[in-house]
Amino acid sequence: MAISQEQKKHGAILVVSLAAILVLCWLMRVMFELPTTSLEDTLPGEQVTAAAPQYFKVADGAAFNGMGKMLIGDEEIEIARVTGDGAPIAKGAQLLENPNTFKVVRRGVNDTTIAAHTAGAQVSYSQGTTFFFPENNASFGDDVDELFYLILWITGIAFILTEGFFLFCVISFWDGPGKTAAYIHGHHKFEVGATLGVCTILVLLGLWQSEMWTQMKQVMPVSMAGKADFKTQERLADAADDPAAKPPVHIQIVATRFKWYFRHPGLDGKFATVDDIPSGEMFVPEGRDVLFHLRTQDVLHSFFLPNYRVKQDAVPGMAIPGWFRPLRTGIFQIMCAELCGEGHTTMGTRLHVKSVEDYRAWVAEKSEEWQELNEDEDRPEWYGIEGKFWWWWDSNEVRVGYAEDYLK
């Protein structure tokens, strides 16, 4: 079969289009591959004042790949690696001479001199990416990714086969002199076979992932909220070797247009008491199950932790439980994954995963702080924003929900 000029031209157009799609995919990959790098939110006291302003030291064992954001105190600073291969950096090494040098892309609003800090604390790379994903930090995350890749392989192979056949047909059967169209009424046996084939794949996928679904969405850690105070829960946690046997930490979450609110029980281990810790960001310890209860004040939202493969809808009238176990410390993104209104894209905040010791210290400090605030007659103005807010949770009953046991 001779290939005409016309066919060659259309073939070329198709190849160029495919190349354009590939470039687009690559660009998207670059766009989404912006790892957020964070120092632990408290830096140690050591400071190096004489260092060159654009360079800084990092902790032992730290590796950094590419470009990212770095958090020093409240300052967010963008940095990029200038040279180096991301290999671990020796503690205290001057990055000026180290293969890994970074430059400051954008400083924080207060123009923090990052050279003045020695990151003796743990440096965590919270959002390194694999080919498609933000870095996984959750205990069940690998299973989720595996399922994603399996589905990607199946659909990828189907895509290449069908598109390949399509391209073959477009080029081979292009209209030309002396060609007439063939009228085909389909192929009954092929259609039945193809439908059954797809059904089988879907049923097998369903069976294959059902255990994972049960683990992630149906079997919740056993709540101890209200049943033991904080110290007792932590003592039980220390006594258990298996992370799954440690009492979970509890958090209540409210989504509202366009903000997240979190409430951690204080030292008494109970919700809705004066020592509760309300906040606009989420704080959890590393290596422990986190049991959250999610409600929404207004419309549908979706609580999304990309690094933990957690995505849970918040539905009006319901308190929906969910859990995850963070595997490493750092600061991570929290997003809303439901188009909930004009401010949807701004509905983000941060998840702080602290070491167990830091977490305990944080709870002790904040719990006492809030207790004092609550007992103080002259509460500061800002108390209303996150403190008073929880009246909403306590005074609005859950209409439909399977989480009543865990609520208090």
Q: Which is nearer to Cu ion, 252 or 367 (CB)?
A: 252
What is the three-class DSSP state of 307?
A: helix
Q: Which is nearer to Cu ion, 57 or 301 (CB)?
A: 301
Omega before residue 258 within 30° of 0, cis = yes
Residues 321-340 that bind Cu ion (CB under 5 A): 336, 340
Could you say which of 59, 216, 347, 403 contacts Cu ion (CB under 5 A)? 347
What is the three-class DSSP state of 269?
A: coil
Q: Which is nearer to Cu ion, 39 or 282 (CB)?
A: 282
Minimal distance in Å, beta carbon 306 to Cu ion?
15
**How many Å apart are CA 296 and CA 391, to the nearest integer?**
14
Beta-bridge partners for 70: 77
Minimal distance in Å, beta carbon 135 to Cu ion?
24
Q: Which is nearer to Cu ion, 257 or 408 (CB)?
A: 257
Among the listed ranges 51-59, 69-77, 237-245, 342-350, the one in contact with Cu ion (CB under 5 A) is 342-350
Minimal distance in Å, beta carbon 258 to Cu ion?
6
**How many Å apart are CA 221 and CA 303, to the nearest integer?**
19
Using CB under 5 A as the binding rule, whether residue 259 contacts Cu ion is answered as no
Minimal distance in Å, beta carbon 336 to Cu ion?
3
Among the listed ranges 39-47, 166-174, 264-272, 294-302, the one in contact with Cu ion (CB under 5 A) is 294-302
Q: Which is nearer to Cu ion, 230 or 308 (CB)?
A: 308
**How many Å apart are CA 368 and CA 277, to the nearest integer?**
9
**Token match 């020592």: residue?**
275
Give the number of other Cβ atoms within 10 Å of residue 285's Cβ: 24
Among the listed ranges 69-77, 89-97, 110-118, 295-303, the one in contact with Cu ion (CB under 5 A) is 295-303
Minimal distance in Å, beta carbon 312 to Cu ion?
12
Residues 2-61 that bind Cu ion (CB under 5 A): none
Longest CA span, the chain:
94
C-alpha distances in Å from residue 250, one per residue of 166, 223, 266, 271, 362: 53, 8, 10, 9, 15
List alpha helices for 89-187, DSSP H: 141-172
Amino acid in the structure at residue 180: T
Could you say which of 301, 352, 354, 366 contacts Cu ion (CB under 5 A)? 301
Minimal distance in Å, beta carbon 261 to Cu ion?
12
Tokens standing for residue 140: 């069940």
Tokens standing for residue 229: 């105070």
Q: Which is nearer to Cu ion, 135 or 338 (CB)?
A: 338
Q: Which is nearer to Cu ion, 205 or 300 (CB)?
A: 300
Among the listed ranges 129-137, 218-226, 343-351, 361-369, the one in contact with Cu ion (CB under 5 A) is 343-351
User: Over the range 339-374, which residues count as b (16 or more CB within 10 Å of their CB) and which as e?
Assistant: ebeeebeebebbbbbbebebbbebbeebbeebbebb
Minimal distance in Å, beta carbon 300 to Cu ion?
8
Q: Which is nearer to Cu ion, 56 or 303 (CB)?
A: 303
Tokens standing for residue 300: 């549908």
Q: Which is nearer to Cu ion, 62 or 340 (CB)?
A: 340
How many chain residues bind Cu ion (CB under 5 A)? 4
Minimal distance in Å, beta carbon 334 to Cu ion?
11
User: Over the range 176-207, which residues count as b (16 or more CB within 10 Å of their CB) and which as e?
Assistant: eeeeeeeeeeeeeeeeeeeeeeeeeeeeeeee
> Under the rule (CB under 5 A), what is the footprint of Cu ion?
301, 336, 340, 347
